Structures are given as C-alpha cells and as structure tokens.
Amino acid sequence: MLLTLDLHDARPLHEQVASAIRRAIGEGSYRPGDRLPPAKDLAGALGINTNTVLRALRDLRDEGLLEFRRGRGVSVAGRADGRALLAQRARELLQEAKKYGYSRDDLITILEELK
C-alpha cells in the first residue's frame, strides 16, 4: 500500500491516514478480506508515530470499513461506498480550495460551470 501524506494539509495526521486508506479501499486497491500491513510498518513508511496510525485504523473500524482480529491483524471488512468516497474527495477539494482563497460557494460555482 503506497500512502502519502501532505505535510501542508491542515487536517490532523490521523485523518489524513484514514482518508488515504479509505481511498485505497474505495478505489479497489484493497478488497474485503485483504489484510493491511501492520500499523508499525505503516507508521514507519509514513514517518509518523504508530499511535497516529492506530487512531486512524480505529476510526475506520468504527465506520465499518476495517475489522481487527486478534492474532490476525487488520483486514478490510467492506468496501467504501461511492457516496462516502466522493464525500471524502469533496472535503479534500474544499480544503484545497480554501488554501487558494476560494470559499465553498466559489467551489460550487466552479463545479456548476463544468456541466
């Protein structure tokens, strides 16, 4: 799993990690039943604290996307539905727009122009 974090993103790191994993599941990189790498390995690859990754994994478990199995690690429980994936991407787009000084209404106008 190739995850990347944007160090300029204002969101907390655990939210960025959860978003990246959610996106990977939604795009089919991980399917139901697939095991994720251990949190320690993910943290090492991302250069962040293991507890940060664990918090993201717990959030995704609470959403029903992941399941924890004692002695077997973390596996994908279900696929992110399209609406949830689009909502996540829309939140990311809104954050990006705010970096450039655009409001939510400005972003809606831009999207409406794409028709």
pLDDT tens digits for range 41-55: 999 999 999 999 999
- pLDDT reading at 80 higher than 80: no
Q: Are 18 and 64 part of one and the same domain?
A: yes
Instruction: For residue 95, report the phi and psi dihedrals to the nearest 5 degrees.
Output: -60, -45
Residue 7 falls within a domain, yes or no?
A: no
Instruction: Please give the average per-residue pLDDT across 68-88, as a whole number.
Output: 79
- pLDDT reading at 82 higher than 70: no
Instruction: Please give the average per-residue pLDDT across 52-77, as a whole number.
Output: 91
Counting the structural domains of the chain, the total is 2
Q: Are 109 and 95 part of one and the same domain?
A: yes
Residue 5 falls within a domain, yes or no?
A: no
Q: Supply the pTM of this predicted model.
A: 0.69
Q: Are 70 and 35 part of one and the same domain?
A: yes
Q: Are 25 and 67 part of one and the same domain?
A: yes
Quote the Cα angle for 35-36-41, to 5°: 140
- How would you classify residue 47: left for phi > 0, otherwise alpha for psi between -120 and 50, otherwise beta? left
- Domain range for 104 is 82-114
d(CA 34, CA 76) in angstroms, rounded, equals 6
What's the DSSP call for residue 35? B
Q: Are 95 and 70 part of one and the same domain?
A: no
- pLDDT reading at 70 higher than 90: no
- Considering the chain, what is the average pLDDT of its residues? 87
